[in-house]
Structure 1
Amino acid sequence: MPISDQTIPYEILIRFDDEGAPKGAHVQSRRRVIMDGEVLKDEILTAAPLQLEGFPTSAIMTTATQAALVQAAALNSQIETLTAAVTSWEADAQSAHTAKDAAVAAKNTAEQQVGQMEWQVSQTTAALATANSRIATLEAILAAAEAANTLP
């Protein structure tokens, strides 16, 4: 009463993108349970992503086809890695732009403050010049009064 439980390839589906390049694949297997030559169970299993390593292939799938599928899977993985890197770089660039915008805004604010301070310095300098002129006038009046001895 030997029992045999076999899982063999049943179907391979390869999906292609708009440019005709492979973008994914899945495989369905067939499970057969046989006892004393009688098939007890024969079912098609659910589709699973195609893993090429260790996958039994028939004469239909040539070495070139296998190599192309392996390369397509590797390239798809590389695309995912590079897409993640680009997304990260874009986020870094956005952060840099945000920091630059904040620095430019701070520079503009500082320039406005410098302008206001320069105006205040010029106003204070003008007021100081006016005050010095008045002091000089008062000193001259005081000196003249002392010379005339007209001080009380």
Structure 2
Amino acid sequence: MTEIERKFLVEGDTFKKEATKKLYFVQAYLNTDPDRTIRIRITDDNAFITIKGRSSSNGLSRYEWEKEIDVNEAKELLNLCEDGKIEKYRYLVPKGDHIFEVDEFHGDNEGLVLAEVELGSEEEDFEKPRWIKQEVTGNSAYYNSSLISNPFKNWKS
């Protein structure tokens, strides 16, 4: 399955008032090779293993396969993961015909807030919320797998 999404920096926290759901995520990576990242994610009472392929040249799309797994198995797999983990709250914010997933990072990535919107095609139009700032689609520094090895706390302003 091909995932098509665009990613943006978020300004302020007004998105929280528009959110219809809030989830807590912990995730780590069994493999961060850009050709095949393998992620373990636990969110509330669910867990998933996800494999993603290399992004297209414009960063808009890439192969993604995901399967729900037992939470206890996911906790065991986290012990096998590469060093580092991602901790974040995800807010689901409807806007027009789309749902924006806004991630407020914590831990080593405290202060970073990103929004993603999944699309049906690379050309699909969507309504941007007012709190959307700069687009960072295709900038690998903002990939969760990159934030493991180079967390936001290490970035210079």
Same fold (TM over 0.5): no
Q: Which has the larger radius of gyration?
A: 1
Q: Which TM-score band applies after superposition, normalised by the shorter structure?
A: under 0.3
| Bigger relative contact order, structure 1 or 2 (CA pairs below 8 A, ≥6 apart) | 2
**TM-score, normalising length: structure 2:** 0.21
- Higher normalized strand content (fraction of residues): 2
